[in-house]
Amino acid sequence: MKKKKVLITGMSGRIGTALNKYLGNKYSFTGLNRNPIDGISNVTADITDLQSIIPHFRGKEIVVHLAAALSTGVSIDDIIDRNIKGVYNVYEAARITGVKRVVFASSGNTIVGYTLDSPYREIESGQYHLVKQSWDRITHLDPVRPNNPYGASKVWGEALGRYYSDYHGLSVICIRFGWLPKENRPNGDPRTYSVWTSHQDASQMVELCIDAPKEIRFDTFFCLSNNKWGYRDLNHPKEILNFEPKDRAEDYR
* Residue 71 scores a pLDDT above 80: no
Q: What is the mean pLDDT of the chain?
A: 96
Q: Any idea where the domains of the chain sit in the sequence?
A: 5-248
Query: What pLDDT score does 238 carry?
Result: 98
User: Which CATH number is associated with domain 5-248?
Assistant: 3.40.50.720
pTM: 0.97
Task: Report the distance separating Cα 93 and Cα 82, nearest Å.
Answer: 15
Q: Tell me, what's the pLDDT at 230?
A: 97
pLDDT (mean) for 157-170: 98
The pLDDT assigned to 1 comes to 74
